Amino acid sequence: MATPKFVGVETEYGIAVDGPTEVNPVLASSLLVGAYRDGGDRDVRWDHSDEHPLRDARGYEVPDAHEPVVDDELGLANTVLTNGARFYVDHAHPEYATPECSTARDLVVWDKAGERILEDAARRAAASLPPGSRVLVHKNNTDGKGAAYGTHENYLVPREVPFGRLTRQLLPFFVTRPIYTGAGRLGTELGGEVAFQLSQRADFFEVEVGLETTLKRPLMNTRDEPHADPDRYRRLHVINGDANLCEVATLLKVGTMLLLLDVIEDDALPALPELAEPVEAFHQVSHDLTGTRPLRLDDGTTATALEIQERYLDACRRYVKDRDSALDPGTADVLERWEAVLATAASDPRALAGQVDWATKLELLESYRERHGLAWDHDRLKMVDLQYHDVRRDKGLFHRLVERGRVERLVSEAEIVAAIDEPPPDTRAWFRGECIRRFRKQIVAAGWDSLIFDVGGEALQRVPMMEPGRGTRESVGPLLDSVGSAAELLEQLTS
């Protein structure tokens, strides 16, 4: 029986400052993250001590000739929020990492909360700049000038599942899922006649498997950094997805993976033909809006992206049917939506507008292009493409479509607003977020798997959180309510 799964998503946002003074992206990102901190409260810093980004799932650690540089030395902002999320500067981008979630729907809620946090942070940051300045933030993956930035999904899976099996069984899935996960973009990085494509990220991938995330990007990332008990878990670090605004797309991106990982863990996925050239196929899928281009397989035959996705869907259907337990509503919803999206893509891909980002954006671009008689490479269309991703709800074109009822919503605004400050109740994120809310002044630093307290003793005290399913509101809520200070909490935890 498959173990419970947990997921979190890190999103690097695009940023630019428009105004009388030039501000470089690194400084702008630091201003933005710094502006969001609660005034007067001590910031809870990020604990880097248990991070190993060069540890490879294939069994070795890549040597690094440089001493690690921490954010304080770079002057970069990095903080942990009361909702259990991490908000920080990564290279030249503000990045929001959701708290750990146990369901795809919860991930949608806390991912949307991140958009609201970035919108608010940009408004606050602009107030610290010269009059007339605007801080523009976009939830996208490319600046249109040859640079890409990531949206990384993170899934905790049992270490006993061989990494080679994960790679073999997931590569065709990753290659073909842009049908519903792609954010859409004008043009291509690869040359040739591509007016519009499904994915913002696909053109930037060069190899099948590897440790890098910014150079020679691999379809399957091998970083072995579980942020949990390393003997029990591995973190599947997925870097090939797009940043989604459509809630249906986010739900499917995460929900299909959570279900498929259960199938793989139980070794219930039937053998599927492997792609002959996965990277080339990834580019081909992104450049084909119909999902019907034949992709070469290792056995000499071909299959389309839609056909490959149907095979995964069928395998997941059989898996849940064969289980003795009743199908939970969340999984049933994912299966139903997955089937419906593939059926729509097969009959009329553009009818996916309002559910998946690429089709929603394409409908917007085509309407604007026809109305003004523009070529596909016109700069005004590029601005429409970019403005689709603007996080400001009064300016972003996606948000205008939401206001007009042209985008399907899955979660309520009240849920999103609550998630800006509150953590998910059923993962260890609840303990992290609540401790920060209640005992901020006594917490020196926080990470995914520990909190570090300073309660005035001779040494700092670390509270480990190695199990993502522990530290929930149900399990530790009464304890937190029973203590009046961080010192009392530590005494109770160690007694």
Characterize the bridge pairing of strands 86-90 and 93-97: antiparallel
- Between strands 55-56 and 185-186, the pairing is unpaired
Exposure of 478 by Cβ count < 10 A (0-12 exposed, 13-18 middle, 19+ buried)? exposed
Catalytic: 64? no
Residue 169, C-beta contacts closer than 8 angstroms, at least 6 positions apart? 264, 269, 272
Torsion angle of the four alpha carbons 100, 101, 107, 110, in this order, in degrees rounded to the nearest 10 = -60
The phi, psi pair for 31, rounded to 5°, reads: -60, -40
Question: CB–CB of 218/208 below 8 Å?
Answer: yes
In single-letter form, the type of residue at position 291 comes to G
From the candidates 18, 41, 72, 90, which is the catalytic residue?
A: 90
- Name the strand (E) or helix (H) holding 217: strand 217-221
Strands 205-210 and 217-221 come out as parallel
Amino acid identity, residue 34? G
Element at 491 (helix H, strand E): helix 486-494
Nearest-angstrom CA–CA distance, 441 and 455: 9
Task: Report the distance separating Cα 188 and Cα 203, nearest Å.
Answer: 7
Please name the helix (run of DSSP H) or strand (run of DSSP E) that holds residue 90, with its range, or none. Answer: strand 86-90
Contacts of 427 (CB under 8 A, 6+ apart): 6, 84, 99, 100, 101, 102, 468, 469, 471, 472
Other Cβ atoms closer than 10 A to 486: 22
Q: CA–CA distance from 360 to each of 141, 153, 249, 349 (Å)?
A: 17, 22, 11, 11
Assess contact for 179 and 313: CB atoms under 8 A: no
Give 471's contacts (C-beta < 8 A, 6+ positions apart).
Answer: 427, 428, 429, 430, 431, 432, 465
Catalytic residues: 90
